[in-house]
Amino acid sequence: MYRVALVDDERLILEGLSRVVPWESLGCCVAGTASDGREGLALIRREQPDMVLTDIRMPNMDGLTMLAALHSEFPQMQMTVLTAYRDFDYAKRALTLGVCRYLLKPSKMDEIHEAVRFMAARLDALSPPEEGAEEESAEGGEAGSFIVNAALEYMRSHCAEHISLADVADHVYVSQWHLSKLINRHTGQSFFDLIGGMRIDRAKVLLADPAMRVHAVAEEVGYNDVAHFSKSFKRIVGKTPGEYRASLTRK
């Protein structure tokens, strides 16, 4: 029996899917249900079902990022989207991120049955992956790239704040361990190197303003200690902040 997780913020739909779909005759059983994205992600991580039927327009969830996160972390998990969101480009992107079927509400029961049968057939056809092969494919694929890009965008927007790897991982719905591996694989750098580089890039822009003191620049880009800022700046740029500012005036 394949185990299925159901995620939808409409209680009637959630109850209908649980009770009306003949899961047993389809070779499945319901492993659990959730009524929003965060709750759904926790359910899926806890139960690790074979299949997921989920909406993508719910509270506390960026639908595409969640789909990418699930496919990246659990590449053999089969996913079907059940939603009222009728955007072709969005649907097309969802399919590139590992979704098997994109069904529009209100869906006919035979469409849901077909989607479940299709996911079951794909699971039946899966052979046990070679050691490390499944993980490597997931990290290097479209979903992994999508997650890394979302993480980098968030980091750029918040690099001056005291954000941690855990904060970014929460934003893109993956574990810290998995995000760290994805970032390293796609960028060749660690989280700390990237966030440090982003802060220094921002500092270089601010140092172009001669009226802004170095300690103010340090605080603006997230450093409480100006000595630590200067040391980090020189390690990355090859010059101290003062030397870098002086080089700008000579150009």
Distance between CA atoms of 164 and 175, rounded to whole angstroms? 13
C-alpha triplet 227, 231, 236: angle, nearest 5°: 145
Answer yes or no: do 71 and 148 share one domain. no
Q: What is the pTM of this model?
A: 0.83
SS3 84: coil
For residue 51, with 0-12 CB atoms within 10 Å meaning exposed, 13-18 middle and 19 or more buried, which class applies?
buried
Answer yes or no: do 6 and 128 share one domain. yes
Answer yes or no: do 178 and 156 share one domain. yes
**The pLDDT value given to residue 135:** 54
Answer yes or no: do 202 and 159 share one domain. no
**The pLDDT value given to residue 194:** 96
Mean pLDDT, contiguous 10-residue spans, the chain (251 residues): 94 91 95 89 93 87 87 93 89 91 91 96 80 54 93 95 94 93 95 95 94 94 92 94 88 58
Answer yes or no: do 25 and 71 share one domain. yes
Answer yes or no: do 87 and 154 share one domain. no
**The pLDDT value given to residue 140:** 54
CATH at 223: 1.10.10.60
Answer yes or no: do 181 and 158 share one domain. yes
**The pLDDT value given to residue 173:** 92
b/e map of 220-236 (b: 16 or more CB within 10 Å)?
A: ebbbeebeebbebbeeb
Domain that holds residue 214: 193-249
Q: Which of 248, 220, 247, 243 is nearest to 233 (CA)?
A: 243
User: Which own/partner contact pairs does 177-183 have at CB distance under 8 Å and 24+ positions apart?
Assistant: 178/72, 178/73, 179/147, 179/151, 181/139, 182/72, 182/139, 182/144, 182/147, 182/148, 182/151, 183/148, 183/151
**The pLDDT value given to residue 136:** 54
What pairing do the DSSP bridges indicate for beta strands 99-104 and 51-54? Answer: unpaired
The number of domains in the chain is: 3
Distance between CA atoms of 62 and 56, rounded to whole angstroms? 7
Answer yes or no: do 133 and 24 share one domain. yes
Cβ contacts of 50 within 8 Å, gap of 6 or more: 2, 3, 4, 28, 76, 77, 78, 119, 123
pLDDT in tens, 84-143: 888 888 899 999 998 999 999 888 999 999 999 999 999 999 866 555 555 555 555 899
b/e map of 176-188 (b: 16 or more CB within 10 Å)?
A: eebbbbbbbebee
